[in-house]
Each structure stands twice: as structure tokens, then as C-alpha cells.
Amino acid sequence: MIVSLVIPAFKASETISSTLASVFAAPLPESWRLDVLVVNDGSPDTLTLETTLQNFPNVTYLSYELNQGKTIAVNLGFAQTRGEVVIPLDADDTLVPDWTTKLFAILDTWPEDAPICFSACRTQLGESTVADPCYTGPLSLNDMLNERHMGEYLPMFRGDALRAAKGYRDMGEAFGCELWTYLGFAEHADLWISSEVLRIYHVGRKGSITSNMYTQKTAKRVVRCYDLIFADFEAAYRAHAPEHLGRRRLRQAVFAAISGQRSRAWALWKMGVRRNAPLESMAALFLIALNPGTIGALVHLAKKARIVRRFG
């Protein structure tokens, strides 16, 4: 069996050595082969990155000059993979020391007809990043709409299904909208979740997507991501998860406010406000009324205090 790992790299020369070392450190079962691809997303540290990669001769290196964003980079790598299983991995995360043993166990339970399996993760501090760390089982479209089993997972794809879909849906900018893709897969077949932990998710690193989530630029992209999701799945939300449709509209409203789209934020809040959740609706209203920079700081503090969900 071939296992492909695709690692997009942008300003990653300081961390990718640890990432790759973790990939190659675990012993492989005799019948397995690794297919590891690093995609340089037009990074300014290209020379340092290429020097680092000389220490990993078994890596396939893909590169282009102009930065195009994570989705473009990952999809370029996906198209070149050969694996029956394909795993995207961030260039600042690492795999657990016995990840091949964990993957072997996952393959024992992961149904053949489930195109995606989400493996639980933990942070470098040992904290689980998922709401149900002991859960192994199916993940239906209804589950996803109703935000069951949420959190930060490592996605793994059946290679044939991923390549047939041509990878992640592309927003056309340097920001991924992965949920949009996962919902599309779940329309046709249940996905799968495994409690086995493969990835160590490094939090708090300067320059990471999560650390920049509340900047005006990133918030604008989050608003657009929600627009794309609702364009395809609003009817499904209304039919199967109306409460969560309102909740996601409130989140979108807060991100619209952070991005400076004040009038859009008020309109979205009106769409999302729910009489059966007055505190949540009023909290979103309070945030929208604040200065955009203050909103991000307060949400960050609320996550640290576990007032709102930290991951996923």
C-alpha cells in the first residue's frame, strides 16, 4: 500500500524539518511505501527551504514562484499523489512517533466506502483538540450540519475519491474553506471519525492561520467561506439543522464586523438571531458593536477561558 502525504510550505523553513522528521521516523509495515510531496507555495524563504529538503532525499518537491494560497498548493500535490490513502499535513505540525501503527489500526475500522476519515489530534501540550476524543464511528451530513463530534482533526482521504474530486473546492483566494469540501463529500456517503491520534497540532505559533484568524483580511475570507457553504447547503441546514444555521449566521456576522463590513454584519445578525437563544444572539450583537480589533481580542480570550469552543 502507498500512503501519500502532501505538505504545503509557505514561510515554513523553520518548522518543516521537524514535520518531515516525524513523518520518516516511524517504522513502516513491510508492504507499505511512503509518497511524500512538499509544495512550495511561492514562499520568500525558498532557498532555505530547498536547503532543508536536501536532508530528505525521499521527498518529491514541487514549486512555483508566486504565492497562490494553501488550497492551490495542496491541490497541486494531491494531483501528483499515488497513494491509496492521502493525508494533507501542515508544515508546522508533526505526526506522533508511532503514527504508522495508529494508521494501521485506523484502516482496520475505516469503511472502504467512506471517502474521508478524520483522525483525532492533540496539541503539543497534550490537550485534545476534539469534542469527543473517544468517539470512533460514522460522520453523516446530518451530524456535520448539527455540529456533532466537532474539533480539529487530521483529514485522510481515499486516494481515488480525492483525485476524482480534484481535491479541495477552491475559493479562488489564499484561504481554504475545507468544510465546504467535506459537506460536499458527505452529501454522497457518510464520512468516518477515528479516536486514534496521528497528528500533534502545534498551537500558538506566530504566523499560523489560527493566530491570524481575527485579522481583517482573514475575517473577510471567513465571511466568503460561509457564503459559499450557505449557497450550497442552506436548504439542508433549514431542513435538518435550523438552530445551527442561525448559529453559523451569527458567527458570520461577527467575522463580517471584524472585516470592517459593518452593514453586512448587522444584516447577517438579523438573519441569525434566535428567540430560543437570547444570550448567544445578544453576545453576537455586543461583539458587532465593538471596534473590529477589540472583537478578535475578546473572542480569543473567550476561547482561552473555554467560554466558546476552542477548536473546529
DSSP 134-157: T--EEE-HHHHHTTTT-B-EEEEE
Q: Are residues 156 and 290 in the same domain?
A: no
- Rounded to a whole number of angstroms, the CA Rg of the chain reads 20
Q: Are residues 166 and 224 in the same domain?
A: no
Q: Are residues 148 and 222 in the same domain?
A: no
Last residue of a domain, one of 156, 173, 201: 201
- The predicted model gives 96-112 an average pLDDT of 97
Q: Are residues 36 and 175 in the same domain?
A: yes
Domain of 229 in residue numbering reads as 216-304
pLDDT tens for 180-195 read 999 999 999 999 999 9
- Is residue 232 situated within a structural domain? yes
Nearest alpha-carbon partner for 23 in 201, 198, 196: 198
pLDDT tens for 226-255 read 999 999 999 999 999 999 999 999 999 999
pLDDT for residue 147: 95
- Is residue 310 situated within a structural domain? no
- Is residue 209 situated within a structural domain? no
- Is residue 272 situated within a structural domain? yes
pLDDT category of residue 100 using cuts at 50, 70 and 90: very high
Q: Are residues 146 and 239 in the same domain?
A: no
- Is residue 33 situated within a structural domain? yes
Q: Are residues 73 and 183 in the same domain?
A: yes
Q: Are residues 53 and 195 in the same domain?
A: yes
pLDDT category of residue 94 using cuts at 50, 70 and 90: very high
User: How many Å apart are CA 114 and CA 137, to the nearest integer?
Assistant: 11
The CATH number covering residue 167 comes to 3.90.550.10
Q: Are residues 172 and 221 in the same domain?
A: no
Q: Are residues 78 and 187 in the same domain?
A: yes
pLDDT above 70: residue 126: yes
pLDDT for residue 20: 98
User: How many Å apart are CA 255 and CA 112, to the nearest integer?
Assistant: 38
- Is residue 309 situated within a structural domain? no
Nearest alpha-carbon partner for 196 in 96, 283, 86, 76: 96
**Count of domains in the chain?**
2
Write the CA distances from 84 to 116, 139, 254, integer angstroms. Answer: 12, 21, 40
Last residue of a domain, one of 201, 224, 246: 201
- Lowest mean pLDDT, pick from 19-23, 245-249, 273-277: 273-277
- Is residue 51 situated within a structural domain? yes
User: How many Å apart are CA 177 and CA 195, to the nearest integer?
Assistant: 24
Q: Are residues 171 and 87 in the same domain?
A: yes
Q: Are residues 102 and 230 in the same domain?
A: no
pLDDT category of residue 293 using cuts at 50, 70 and 90: confident
- Lowest mean pLDDT, pick from 35-44, 92-101, 132-141, 267-276: 267-276
pLDDT category of residue 32 using cuts at 50, 70 and 90: very high
Residues 153/115/183/155 CA torsion (nearest 10 deg)? 20
Last residue of a domain, one of 172, 201, 230: 201
- Is residue 238 situated within a structural domain? yes
Q: Are residues 10 and 74 in the same domain?
A: yes
pLDDT for residue 216: 86
Read off the C-alpha cell for 75: 491541490
